[in-house]
Structure 1
Amino acid sequence: MNGVTEYAQALRAIGQALETLRVQKFEMQPIGEDFLVRGDISTSGSLELDHPDASGRLRRTIWGDAPREYTQGVEREAAAVVSAVELLYGSADVERLETAGRSRRTDSHGTPEPSSLSQTLRCIGGYLGQKRAHLRKLSREGDAISVEYDTSLGTSVKEVFEPDNLYNLWVRMYLQRAERATR
């Protein structure tokens, strides 16, 4: 990542991976050029973490080569298991996730889903970029996303984004992107 202005792309790519894993609650911190994510994933019998083949299936799920039952939204019946995960995304990982996500997006001119985690994180990344802020910590619990950052003047700020103000922020950024595309 080259500076604070590229948070939008990196956070969207990581958001796509977290969507695939169905991470509901997490905390993310930048460590140099990397991002450390600690969170909880809810798995069913189709991805039990203690199964002998789990590491390979989990790896495919994280990097976008999800098993068929995930990509079609069909799962085997099993009790949900919540497992804690810790993931470190380096710049090469983010680039790989971005490339995989780009190949999955079939209509680049269509309107993305504003409530998706990847779009929410992209929006927050764009917000940080506009402020020329340095991300310190980002966390999600329920529908709220808490963002801690340092401003370009060195002031520490913590903001909590709820779905309604996230949507308004997303609409503003989408309109700005659409306006830039027509120039």
Structure 2
Amino acid sequence: LDRDEGLAAGIGMAAPARSFHEIFVDQYEHLATVGEFEWERMVNVYEQWRDRIDRIRQGDYSPGDTVLGYPGALWDSLDEYDHVATARDVDQPILFLQGERDYQVSVEEDFQLWQDELADRPATEFQRYEGLNHLFQPGTCPSVPGEYAVRNSLDGAVVEDIAGFLGEP
């Protein structure tokens, strides 16, 4: 929206409000608790990731280094972009949607941060969906990566809310 003022509105579907490396930690911690992986191996990988994330936090890398599978230049770029400030500064209406079963973007951390930081911003709406994952698909168990491979549909309530926000009947 900040790059194209011709756009009428924005929609943040499972939109992260925090830094990418912080979200990585949360995702990995979730996966460690749902038992989808061998625990000992998971702990070793988690400790390695924590060390690398500390490098990212401290800026202890060069643009050409690869950290957590991504080049340092990407981490620099992500660090320079402030999602919340950008949303606060645009004039168009914004709708934020969040599935409550999403482990990739947290309801408690990210969605709540959007609500707290943009509470006074006009034309901003927030909608949570019980039982939906990161792809806004229904389920009952804790969300895991394997469920994304199962054929499933976008929940109808999400489609209706988007259409209503955009002014479509």
Q: TM-score range by the shorter chain?
A: under 0.3
Tell me the TM-score normalised to structure 2 length: 0.28
As a proportion of its length, which structure holds more strand?
A: 1
